[in-house]
Structure 1
Amino acid sequence: MSTSVDSTESDHLGTSGQKKSGDKVVAMLGNPNVGKTSIFNRLTNLLAKTSNFPGTTIDRRIGRVELSDKKSITLVDLPGMYSLEATSPEEEVARDFVLGQSDEAPDAVLIVVDATNLQRTLFVARQALQQSRPTVVAVNFIEAARRRGIEIDLNILSRKLGCPVVGVSARTGEGFDRLKSQLAIVLAGPALPLLIQGGSPECPPTPAENVLTVISDDESCGSCRVCPFADGHLWAAALARESIRDGSVVSDETADRVDQFLTHRFIGPVVFAIVMVLAFSLVFSFAQVPMEWLDNGFGMLATWVSRFLPEGDFQSLVVDGIIGGVGGVMVFLPQIFILFFMLAILEDSGYLARAVVVVDRWMRRVGLPGQAFVPLLAAHACAIPAIMATKVIENRRDRLAAIMVIPLMTCSARLPVYTMIAAMLFPSNPMYAAILFASAYVLGMVAAFAIAFLLKLTILPGEPSPLILDLPPYRAPSIRNALRYAYERGWTFLRDAGTVILMISIVIWALSTYPKLSDERFADEMASRSVAVEQLSESELDGVRAAADQEHAIIGRLGRVVAPVFEPLGFDWKISVGVMTSFAAREVVVSTLSILYGLGPEPEEESSLQNRLQAAKYPDGSPVFTTATCVSLLVFFVLAMQCLPTQAVTKKETGSWKWAAFQFVYMTMLAYAAAFVAYQTISLVS
């Protein structure tokens, strides 16, 4: 799992993808789920960049590795692939890189295979070895294989493959020093003799003595009657049996029984729902204390700054605009970090792959292909890389259907909004807050399935392609990798969202402050409202003046213009302004509300955003954030398209603005209608 950034160059590869002087380039190759990324993270000490292959939007991770001979190499982590006979855009760019067809060929190849499933993962290793490049094979999960009673003879593997073979464990760090030394040896010395012969795809030559040959009558295998795919898989099976000391590949019957339970037609969805609710409850429970620390920290910072700055607009800009706006969103960072940590644990353990099987039954019925599950899952981090990941879906109809519904998945930008609403509705009940949180996720998924079904019946008719999925083995999750992933997501949120929030917070503060309301104009307005100013206490007068200043400013005037549109949803003019600003970026609504409800007469008296929102009142004294309003706001943000960069990516990937416009229109209409129904229904029954 890696964080995607739009970059065309890195520290070690030029814009053309060619290596710079000094470092040699090693391509890292292997099946999905063999732990390539975990090995890459350990080798690069978690310091790497993600860039695009030249001329594409497909990611490759690039990092620098210090070898045992004090020299360094540039390691390129390629997308996972099952065969060099590429069947997807990701596999094509990985194949072209390994073969040197799109860039300068790599100096060596590091192949990663799975010790718990050698037979499956050796096939692509054979194809890579046929390219006659210096190669090292890393057998990952070596400690997991031992626990399952699998003892692999690495010497036999090395002799048969004709290259160094190293047993490693990305989880414990076992074997990494030897792996680095073997990489240094193969890069420094002459190429080893090739034991696995290559040939044309149509008619490969007779393999060497350690390679099995199968004669096939299938015409698709060519006139030479040697099927390269059957040949390769039989060879992999034979080599796996020979390398495992007891002479057989151990099957995990326990894992099969667990799979039957977790992927059961009826039990599977129930287990999935329970796992999600428990995960979210842990998010709220563990994040409560660090959120309070951050909240108190920003409050103390605002109080400290206000003491050193003279009263006036500059103090208000710093305290209310910058600290209040940015701090209002940053306090949710612990929940974002813990949520992605939990998701990484579930994925690393192998459970999320089983969830794919459970969800696929529903996806196919509504017109979504099984291949869309991975992009839909990635959309819970960000819709932009998820839409780009739909390249793996070959059928254009299936790909368009996935792109249209991906933004309905809950992304990290929505999390501060969900957390804010859950905290207001259930401030002292983490379990209820977790259920509300999970319900928001479920609502997005249900809406995506419903829209996909309507698209299937209307503008995108047809049946989706079937799901072909290789279930990874169950493993003890790596805390290190989970922390790495959570750190990446948290840092991305701070880097990308933080800069946008800072900019918009300053703009919102300015629009909320200017033009100024003169004392004479204020007195006239109070007289027109029949407000006896002289009967108000000093604090009450300051509060009334602050509200009048906001309504007189540009933001108040804009709010009154858009307020009638959102009034049926239960939104006041401040919430309406927050909704409008959030169409640029969802998370901005939190900073906007923090500013609009935080601008007051005494900035030194800081309170949390939750307390300020709960204390907000209409002029008649009724609360602004009722249960109906909170639920309406939550539903709106679950379903609305509020991300301009996502719209740009939709246009790029579909090749037309009409699909991006359609996506924006239908999601906005859906969000408005659903929020209207939610608000009116709850208002009637409450």
Structure 2
Amino acid sequence: MSSVIATATASAERTPTRPRPFRFALAGNPNSGKTTVFNALSGLRAHTANYPGTTVEQRLGRFHLDGEVVDVVDIPGLYDLKVSSEEERIALNVLTGANPKHPKPDAVVVVADATNLSRSLFLASQIIELKLPVIVALNMMDAAEEEGIEIDSAALQRELGCPVVPVVARTGRGVDNLRAALQRTIADSHDPHPATPAACETCGSCRFQSRYAWTDAVSSRCVRTTSPKTRLWTERLDRVFTHPVIGVLAFFGVMMGVFFLIFQIATIPMDLIDALFSGLGGWLANHMPESDLRSLVTQGIIGGVGGMLVFLPQICILFFCLSLLDDTGYLARAAFVMDRLMRRVGLSGKAFVPLLSAHACAIPAIMATRVIEDKRDRLVTILVAPLISCSARIPVYSMLAALLFSRDAWKASLVFTGAYSLGIISAILAALVFKRTIFKGETRALVLELPSYKIPSLKTAFLTMIDRASVFVRKAGTVILMISIILWALATYPKSDPPAAAVQMQQQAETLAAQGSTQQADESRASADRLISHGALANSAAGRLGHWIEPVIRPLGFDWQIGIGIVSSFAAREVIVSTLAVVYGVGEDVAKENPDSLYDSLRQATRTDGSKVFTTATCASLLVFYIFAMQCLATQVVTRRETGTWKWPIVQVVYMSLLAYTASLVVYQSLRAFGIG
């Protein structure tokens, strides 16, 4: 079948001048190191976008070769050109120019795995038959050498009829040679070459059998295997990492390490970001005249942007770690050992990492579902991921645990344990329900290639982290900012006159200041400010909405003041803590510096009839509500971006809100029935 590959350097009709930059596609099998090659060529000059009309991502890069601009498009990984998935259809459309929004590439670089040449040649032979100039980048040569695999690249080049460049993209070895081969292709592409037709024109299975036979024959002529250096280590490691029991324990150990980094290391930059935006807001508040504009800038814009960016360190650390684990070859083995457990709830093993990472934050967890090929399984994972208790719920859990068990740390810790356990159980049950109703059907069998172990590339992990972070900021940030401003407006308008008691306190403060009682004057002013903030919020649109929904939430044990907290925390659930501080006259700043003052005020809060607001039943009901309720705008935006429609975010909000309401109703009414107020 050698004539099938007759002229790889042949070109389709070319013109002497090019109205656009030279464009080549980067193709290859999954786990062939294609992304590492892409990063080695384009570096930070790359961006990610979706293919038009799809949720499949494309990575585009641009760099210069001898003064000429070169564009590279990284198409989805595939094993052959047989279309059986959306990713494969898109890849074929890019290579053939079938999509008018994507011009046909001027050349193709096929990234071949040097440790498994025969399989890579199958795809390479199909791409060569498209009559495009082809360069084969023989990647992971270092891994091949360690496995005792020797490849005669010159002989392989003669067999294929196209340039073959050995590279180790992870270290940069051979990348300059690949650039030089691209430069020669650019120069040659201006002159058309006649294409030699394929010799084999038989159909179906005959062509596939013939192609497989050809790839095996070429491999046997160009590859020589000596004594392996690393295969024994691979087998030893696989005995541990793919063991049905030890492998699961090892996976939990690895992921616990990742979450330790997310919770511990991310705390430092998260605190810095929070301090930066708080400081910026405070500085502007001190240097701008008191006005609605100042409030909009400091609370709506800076508060909204800061509330979004504070999650960025967690996203960066998670994707950096996942990239390292994927690059080593471990994640494929983790998915393999977890598949048996996940299939019991109708999901594949690949869903476990995203669901586990949701304990840090649902946003990177939803973004991490891209590793799940099956569309139904991916949607189910996206829909149930927010049920897993994330770090943003911790302030809410802390507040309610303190209200329930103020003097008993052991019982308070049980609140956290119960909340996290309830989140996990609900996510599992929700996945079962979705798989047996809306997404009914057999779970797709997990077919995995276990790549060889290798040392990960820090550069690739860093670039992946930067790419994921920039996508989050660009796509989610704009919508979050817009809705944050809307929520600010709801909490600010309509305006109301300050309460008479607050005016009296301000006058008293002026009198005390004139008498030299500075400390008492400051305390009086602070009390007046808290009273004014409370009154303004109560009379705002958000406050009126709290009054409006009170009949609906009263069966849950909530009054209109808690209703304001629920409404204001729609964008971020942790906002309820600062909102309640304002509503109950503590002050947001005081609550941050001394949480006990907030807890004491909440314990002492009473309704108009003199009954306590935060009883045991109310606290338990509110806890359950926030375990199940969505209350996270950023998650909604990311769900919209990942699914390509607002349909699924709406489904998310509706089912989680109904679940939260029902569960809170059952908890509150049951406790009241047993005499626990």
Alpha-carbon spacing, 1:566–1:234, altered in 2? closer, same or farther (3 Å): farther
The DSSP-based 3-state class of the residue aligned with 1:255 is helix
Deviation, structure 1 residue 592 = 7.3
Equivalences, count = 618
How far apart are the structure 1 equivalents of 2:670 and 2:245? 31
Alpha-carbon spacing, 1:44–1:316, altered in 2? closer, same or farther (3 Å): same
How far apart are the structure 1 equivalents of 2:533 and 2:223? 77
1:615 equivalent in alignment to 2:612:
no
Matched residue type, 1:403: L
Deviation, structure 1 residue 111 = 0.2
Alpha-carbon spacing, 1:249–1:563, altered in 2? closer, same or farther (3 Å): farther
How far apart are the structure 2 equivalents of 1:425 and 1:169? 54
Alpha-carbon spacing, 1:304–1:485, altered in 2? closer, same or farther (3 Å): same
1:189-238 deviations in whole A, cap 9, x for unaligned?
26789899464360xxxxxxxxxxxxxxxxx72xxxxx333333343344
Q: Which residue of structure 1 lines up, in the alignment, with residue 659 of structure 2?
A: 670
Alpha-carbon spacing, 1:56–1:514, altered in 2? closer, same or farther (3 Å): closer
How far apart are the structure 1 equivalents of 2:222 and 2:140? 15
In the TM superposition, what are the counterparts of 1:452-531 in structure 2 within 5 Å? 452-457=431-436, 461-519=440-498
The DSSP-based 3-state class of the residue aligned with 1:49 is strand
How far apart are the structure 1 equivalents of 2:194 and 2:387? 50
How far apart are the structure 1 equivalents of 2:641 and 2:311? 27
1:75 equivalent in alignment to 2:72:
yes
How far apart are the structure 1 equivalents of 2:487 and 2:466? 29
Q: Which residue of structure 1 lines up, in the alignment, with residue 271 of structure 2?
A: 292
User: Which has a greater percent of helix?
Assistant: 2
1:408 equivalent in alignment to 2:384:
yes
The DSSP-based 3-state class of the residue aligned with 1:93 is helix
CA contact (8 A) 1:408 1:639 kept: no
How far apart are the structure 2 equivalents of 1:478 and 1:624? 53
Deviation, structure 1 residue 387 = 8.6
How far apart are the structure 2 equivalents of 1:113 and 1:436? 53
1:48 equivalent in alignment to 2:13:
no
**TM-score normalised over the length of structure 2:** 0.76
Deviation, structure 1 residue 606 = 5.0
1:587-644 deviations in whole A, cap 9, x for unaligned?
54456765774699999x9578586698353372599799857853652246999727
How far apart are the structure 1 equivalents of 2:615 and 2:46? 44
Deviation, structure 1 residue 418 = 4.2
Alpha-carbon spacing, 1:610–1:134, altered in 2? closer, same or farther (3 Å): farther
CA contact (8 A) 1:511 1:555 kept: yes
Structure 1 residue corresponding to 2:624, chosen from 612, 632, 653: 632
- Name the stretch that deviates more: 675-684 or 333-342: 675-684
1:385-409 deviations in whole A, cap 9, x for unaligned?
789998x54xxxxx55653453212
CA contact (8 A) 1:150 1:250 kept: no
Structure 2 residue corresponding to 1:87, chosen from 69, 84, 107: 84
CA contact (8 A) 2:61 2:73 kept: yes
Gaps of at least 5 residues in structure 2 are: 1-16, 403-411, 506-519, 606-611
Matched residue type, 1:228: R
The DSSP-based 3-state class of the residue aligned with 1:137 is strand
Q: Which residue of structure 2 lines up, in the alignment, with residue 643 of structure 1?
A: 636
Alpha-carbon spacing, 1:299–1:638, altered in 2? closer, same or farther (3 Å): closer
Deviation, structure 1 residue 97 = 2.6
Matched residue type, 2:56: I
- Name the stretch that deviates more: 514-523 or 177-186: 514-523
Q: Which residue of structure 2 lines up, in the alignment, with residue 544 of structure 1?
A: 531
How far apart are the structure 1 equivalents of 2:242 and 2:83? 29
Q: Which residue of structure 2 lines up, in the alignment, with residue 553 of structure 1?
A: 540
1:347 equivalent in alignment to 2:326:
yes
Alpha-carbon spacing, 1:382–1:678, altered in 2? closer, same or farther (3 Å): farther
CA contact (8 A) 1:443 1:638 kept: no
Alpha-carbon spacing, 1:327–1:375, altered in 2? closer, same or farther (3 Å): closer
Deviation, structure 1 residue 312 = 4.4
Q: Which residue of structure 2 lines up, in the alignment, with residue 39 of structure 1?
A: 37
Matched residue type, 1:552: N
Q: Which residue of structure 2 lines up, in the alignment, with residue 173 of structure 1?
A: 172
1:229 equivalent in alignment to 2:208:
yes
CA contact (8 A) 1:570 1:632 kept: no
**TM-score normalised over the length of structure 1:** 0.75
CA contact (8 A) 2:367 2:638 kept: no
CA contact (8 A) 2:201 2:207 kept: no
How far apart are the structure 2 equivalents of 1:611 and 1:481? 43
How far apart are the structure 2 equivalents of 1:184 and 1:149? 32
CA contact (8 A) 1:345 1:479 kept: yes
Gaps of at least 5 residues in structure 1 are: 1-18, 203-219, 222-226, 394-398, 428-432, 527-533
How far apart are the structure 2 equivalents of 1:464 and 1:550? 50
The DSSP-based 3-state class of the residue aligned with 1:643 is helix
Alpha-carbon spacing, 1:418–1:240, altered in 2? closer, same or farther (3 Å): farther
1:318-338 deviations in whole A, cap 9, x for unaligned?
334433443344333322322
Alpha-carbon spacing, 1:439–1:32, altered in 2? closer, same or farther (3 Å): farther
Deviation, structure 1 residue 448 = 4.6
Matched residue type, 2:539: H
Deviation, structure 1 residue 424 = 6.8
1:34-58 deviations in whole A, cap 9, x for unaligned?
1212211221222223344455553
Alpha-carbon spacing, 1:661–1:286, altered in 2? closer, same or farther (3 Å): closer
CA contact (8 A) 1:162 1:192 kept: no
How far apart are the structure 2 equivalents of 1:284 and 1:230? 52
- Name the stretch that deviates more: 357-366 or 399-408: 399-408
- Name the stretch that deviates more: 240-249 or 339-348: 240-249
1:125-161 deviations in whole A, cap 9, x for unaligned?
1221233321111112223333444333322222222
Deviation, structure 1 residue 245 = 3.8
Q: Which residue of structure 2 lines up, in the alignment, with residue 106 of structure 1?
A: 105
Alpha-carbon spacing, 1:101–1:371, altered in 2? closer, same or farther (3 Å): farther
The DSSP-based 3-state class of the residue aligned with 1:61 is strand
CA contact (8 A) 1:134 1:191 kept: no
Matched residue type, 1:666: Y
1:18-47 deviations in whole A, cap 9, x for unaligned?
x98132221211111112122112212222
How far apart are the structure 2 equivalents of 1:489 and 1:438? 31
How far apart are the structure 2 equivalents of 1:559 and 1:96? 53
Q: Which residue of structure 2 lines up, in the alignment, with residue 133 of structure 1?
A: 132
In the TM superposition, what are the counterparts of 1:186-585 in structure 2 within 5 Å? 186-189=185-188, 197=198, 199-200=200-201, 202=203, 221=205, 227-246=206-225, 252-368=231-347, 381=363, 393=374, 399-400=375-376, 402-410=378-386, 417-418=392-393, 420-421=395-396, 447-457=426-436, 461-519=440-498, 537-563=524-550, 565-566=552-553, 576-577=563-564, 579-580=566-567
How far apart are the structure 1 equivalents of 2:413 and 2:312? 17
How far apart are the structure 1 equivalents of 2:591 and 2:667? 27
Deviation, structure 1 residue 384 = 7.9
Task: Give me the identity figure in percent.
Answer: 39
How far apart are the structure 2 equivalents of 1:660 and 1:506? 20
